[in-house]
Structure 1
Amino acid sequence: MSSEIGTVICTLDGPSSTEFSFVVTNCAEDIPVKRGQFVELESEEGKMVAQVQDLIKTNRYFMRAESVREYERGNKSIASVFPADRWEYIVARAKASGVQTEDGIKQVSFPASPGQKVFTAGSDTLASFLGINAGDGVDLGKLRYHDLSTKLNLTKLLRKHVAILAMSGAGKSYSAMVLLEELMDRAENEGRIASIIADVHGEYTSLARPSEEVDYSDRAFVVEGKNIQIGAPDMSAYQFREFAPDMSGSQTRELNRIIRQLQSEMRSGKGRYDLDDIIREVEKDGETKKQIRKALADRLYDLKNLHIFGKNDYPNWRELAQPGKVAILNLSDILNLRKKRIILAYFARKLFNKRKSGQAPPFALFLEEAHQFAPSKRSVISKPVLRTLAREGRKFYASLILISQRPVKLSTTVLSQANTHIILRVTNPYDLDHIKKSSERITGDTIDIISSLPVGEALVVGEAVNHPVFVKIRKRRSQEAEHGTSLKEVARHFEEQRIQKREDAKAFM
């Protein structure tokens, strides 16, 4: 139920069609209104919804500095002489967000009237106005300052990609895990998608561990980086060249001839081949010039040293893309960044091609430290496929979820395709400026709030909502990651393990 909170007043600049100020008349609560809160009022165009941008508290008895100094110089106080407490009041500055009419949400084109009563925005009004009333939507948490769940429409949220941006420790990975939980919790009749995450720090592996509240271990599985394999028979010569960019055109042509020969032998029953077999054929090939043969073998030996090429893919694309399940590629044990990029590029392209052909289900690819895989100023192995996925993925319901603590270092081409941003606390001025430029809905006032957000609160802006909203991310239901454990507990656990190993060693002596 909406309650009256204030009255619209005249100022030098308003009320205008974009802003108005109101004096708070209901002071029954200690904090009757807060910055970022939504309010509503009746206007000539319909029910106007506005968001409080700033608050000013004033008192006529404390407006002259010299008077306050004189009265407060001794043991006196102004409040003991004058009824100062009765003259304290709050003025709120609100920005008109839109008008709710019988024909839907419209832009405000006429100002509110002075004297008009202002109310706290009701839940039904907000849900309809903000577009967060999807019954089977993705529930990220509660709308800040309002007891209202932010259930976002799945199609609007994911079809045109998502960017989760925040400084380190602000809760971006936690928010991504909440989103993953929501996707795993969906019933078949609600529409389920497959989720795949490139986990560079091993933060998401806890999803696959049993939890007392909700057990996702049957819906989330971990693939350790050291076990990941790329099947050489599934690679073309041009894909090998993509992973070894210094391979020349003539070398690629010779490699293509040899691969066709090996594939022909495989079809005739000889069996699958690996990179060692390709290298062996290159080295003994009599049709290739010695100089080209040696240079090509050098490129292939370089790829062999990455230890990721075998006879079959592991995992295969069917294991990765399962509706209602999460595949976690744990890349934390891989130190070589080039190796990580090759793995991501290969499986992202394969999944996308299978999705385009209709063999794979709709999927969302979560990409931690996205700026490492699609940097803004350098061309790296994984960047082209991510650009393609960003530009064309929405046509085939293949979604990207970009997670980064340095948005300024993330490819503008890739980031610009993310039509919904979930932004937690960011303080770096270059990142803030980059974020502001990436969305026309983010104002200077909003940027100021972003830089002071507490951990676990986020701004959701873009395609998924009709208006930017601040959300308190809900508590996750799955097992807490070790990264969320206190330093004290981790240090204590390490010491306990060391003592146990020492005692075990003595027992064998």
Structure 2
Amino acid sequence: MKTLGTVISNEKGPTTMGFDFAISDLSVRKGQFVQIDDADNSIIARVDEIYKTNRYFSRTDSVIEYERSGKPISELFPVDRWEYLVGSCSILGMFSSNQIKRVTFPPSPGSTVRTVDEKLLEKFLGFDQKGLFVGKLSFHDLESRLNLSRLLQKHVAILAMSGAGKSHLVGVIIEELLEMEGLKPAIIVLDPHGEYTKFAHDPFYRKYTKIFNEENIKIGVSTLKASNYADFLELTHAQKRELAKVLQNMKKENYDIDHLIAEVDASGIKSPTKENLSGALMSLKSFGFFDKHTRPAPDYLAKQGQLSVMDLSNFIELKERQIIATYFIKNLFYQRRMEKIPPFLLVIEEAHQFCPEGKKEEAISRGIIETIAREGRKFSASLMLVSQRPIRLSTTVLSQCNTHIVLRVTNPYDLDHIGQSSEGMSRELIKDLPSLKTGEAVIVGEAVNYPVMINVRDKKIKSEK
């Protein structure tokens, strides 16, 4: 391991929380992990900041007085010889007897600071050699491989401004899931912009991919209850009660929306409830995706090792997308609870559209998404929420995502929201988020033992389209 510098004593420490060190190797970078060895223990720390110091410029009054002489201070004194780089580090923990422990005694001034042992760092951060390869640890030649269960079991949120690389990262994770050995989850993507349809045009990934769009996404009318219509249409109590009676009297065979409207019109429902109910059902008919049969069926949508992309790009109205999301997500979760479909990962792009903070009436799909966020772990139903506006995303859902992967964010309101909702996201990391380059990401939470910054790897997918 290469020597990087020496721990110094100053007014800040060293303490059990951190230390400063005089840098002797100019390769040291902010965000880098470093190591101090003491007997059989290894302290792991992260460089939070790098600053310069020079004794000739330490007193403002002296600098001003010398400058008044008409000559730069650099001509009067050998200032270059007294300029030093200092790294300010926060201590993360200690490896002792092959266990991670809390540091209860500070390192000594004069201790040597070295580059961290990569194998030790891999264990310390909780990377998994057989995990999902999402990129490389910034400033280190170490692959960031995330344990599948730790990443997905308690849900994950991927947050970033537009153009920062969040969809690229999601694509990388999907590639890893499709290529992994052993039991694979079913992957279902709610895709408002059709970004993930490219998997169907890749020579390798096409065999794992199914695309569903406006041509083959249908909701079977005969599968719906009055409560479903109440969600879709915000029915009054009277309308819901009368519709329930109509549905109960209808035949068991499959029927379409026209048949249902005709039954309502022919019923003995009093005005104006009948007219309002019939008009509401007509508005559903205008969407064009209510049919006799549901397509795709839950067991066709959620297949082990299959990527199912629900391309919603041609469903223009937000309410259309929310109705589709509500219906299919409820079906998927019900089928999973009954163990009729395999464990699944539900990826929701533009999650703030489907699960916003605010009134339930503003997003009918919010309720079922919050239910999965709270209860999905018990049934191996995982969420991956992707959003460019974290502040608009339901705090209930965001707080249930135990791993947050954050790329570049510049909006101060979003930054404040991330700071409040992401455990382990320190002030220093929050300050770094606006300056991240495209493809750089900070991972905090369940998937890693300590916050890490990574460079997301390139995607393998090659679209023939």
TM range (shorter): over 0.9
Residue equivalent to 2:242: 254
What is the SS of the residue equivalent to 1:49? Answer: strand
Residue equivalent to 1:145: 139
1:220 aligns with 2:214: no
Q: Which amino acid aligns with 2:265?
A: E
1:20 aligns with 2:19: yes
Residue equivalent to 2:436: 453
Residue equivalent to 1:156: 150
1:4: Cα distance to partner?
A: 1.6
- Kindly indicate whether the alpha-carbon contact (under 8 Å) linking 2:423 and 2:445 is maintained by their aligned counterparts in 1: no
1:57 aligns with 2:39: no
What is the SS of the residue equivalent to 2:161? Answer: coil
Once the two structures are superposed, the pairs formed by residues 33-432 of structure 1 within 5 Å of their partners are 33-43=28-38, 46-63=41-58, 65-66=63-64, 69=67, 78=74, 83-102=78-97, 104-132=99-127, 134-187=128-181, 189=182, 191-211=183-203, 215-245=204-234, 247-264=235-252, 266=253, 272-286=254-268, 288-379=269-360, 380-432=363-415
- Kindly indicate whether the alpha-carbon contact (under 8 Å) linking 1:45 and 1:99 is maintained by their aligned counterparts in 2: no
1:88: Cα distance to partner?
A: 2.8
Work out the CA distance in 2 between the residues paired with 1:308 and 1:114.
71
Work out the CA distance in 2 between the residues paired with 1:420 and 1:439.
8
Work out the CA distance in 1 between the residues paired with 2:18 and 2:224.
59
1:43: Cα distance to partner?
A: 4.1
Residue equivalent to 2:3: 4
Distance 1:467 1:330, change over 3 A: same
Residue equivalent to 1:439: 422
Q: How many residues align?
A: 460
TM-score by length of 1: 0.86
- Residue deviations 1:190-238 (CA, integer Å, cap 9, x gap): x200111111112111121125xxx211112221235411011211121
Work out the CA distance in 1 between the residues paired with 2:148 and 2:122.
16
- Kindly indicate whether the alpha-carbon contact (under 8 Å) linking 2:67 and 2:73 is maintained by their aligned counterparts in 1: no
Distance 1:144 1:67, change over 3 A: farther
Work out the CA distance in 2 between the residues paired with 1:59 and 1:32.
20
- Residue deviations 1:331-376 (CA, integer Å, cap 9, x gap): 1111100000000111111011111111111111111111111111
1:481: Cα distance to partner?
A: 11
Q: Which amino acid aligns with 2:368?
A: V
Work out the CA distance in 2 between the residues paired with 1:366 and 1:349.
15
What is the SS of the residue equivalent to 2:103? Answer: coil
Structure 1 window deviating more from structure 2 (342-351 vs 201-210): it is 201-210
What is the SS of the residue equivalent to 2:42? Answer: strand
What is the SS of the residue equivalent to 2:207? Answer: coil
What is the SS of the residue equivalent to 1:218? Answer: helix
- Kindly indicate whether the alpha-carbon contact (under 8 Å) linking 1:6 and 1:118 is maintained by their aligned counterparts in 2: yes
What RMSD over aligned residues (CA atoms) do the two structures have, in Å? 2.1
- Residue deviations 1:83-131 (CA, integer Å, cap 9, x gap): 5444332110000001112262122222111111111111111100000
Work out the CA distance in 2 between the residues paired with 1:65 and 1:263.
93
5+ residue gaps, structure 2: none
- Residue deviations 1:446-475 (CA, integer Å, cap 9, x gap): 111111111100000000000000010000
Work out the CA distance in 1 between the residues paired with 2:40 and 2:365.
51
- Kindly indicate whether the alpha-carbon contact (under 8 Å) linking 2:404 and 2:444 is maintained by their aligned counterparts in 1: yes
Q: Which amino acid aligns with 1:370?
A: A
What is the SS of the residue equivalent to 2:459? Answer: coil
What is the SS of the residue equivalent to 2:405? Answer: strand
1:280: Cα distance to partner?
A: 1.2
- Kindly indicate whether the alpha-carbon contact (under 8 Å) linking 2:137 and 2:143 is maintained by their aligned counterparts in 1: yes
Work out the CA distance in 2 between the residues paired with 1:146 and 1:81.
42
1:313: Cα distance to partner?
A: 1.2
Q: Which amino acid aligns with 1:364?
A: L
Q: Which amino acid aligns with 2:6?
A: T
5+ residue gaps, structure 1: 267-271, 483-509
- Residue deviations 1:143-199 (CA, integer Å, cap 9, x gap): 000111111110110011111000111111111111111111112x2x200111111
- Residue deviations 1:6-53 (CA, integer Å, cap 9, x gap): 11110102011101111112x3xxx32000000111247831110000
- Kindly indicate whether the alpha-carbon contact (under 8 Å) linking 2:191 and 2:309 is maintained by their aligned counterparts in 1: yes
What is the SS of the residue equivalent to 1:225? Answer: coil
TM-score by length of 2: 0.94
Distance 1:263 1:461, change over 3 A: farther
What is the SS of the residue equivalent to 1:169? Answer: coil
Distance 1:81 1:138, change over 3 A: same
- Kindly indicate whether the alpha-carbon contact (under 8 Å) linking 2:202 and 2:464 is maintained by their aligned counterparts in 1: no
Q: Which amino acid aligns with 2:226?
A: A
Structure 1 window deviating more from structure 2 (342-351 vs 254-263): it is 254-263
Same amino acid, percent of matched pairs: 42
Distance 1:263 1:143, change over 3 A: farther
Work out the CA distance in 1 between the residues paired with 2:403 and 2:303.
24
Distance 1:20 1:251, change over 3 A: same
- Kindly indicate whether the alpha-carbon contact (under 8 Å) linking 2:201 and 2:464 is maintained by their aligned counterparts in 1: no
- Residue deviations 1:393-434 (CA, integer Å, cap 9, x gap): 111111111111110111101111010000000011111010
Q: Which amino acid aligns with 1:297?
A: S
What is the SS of the residue equivalent to 1:124? Answer: helix
Residue equivalent to 1:500: none
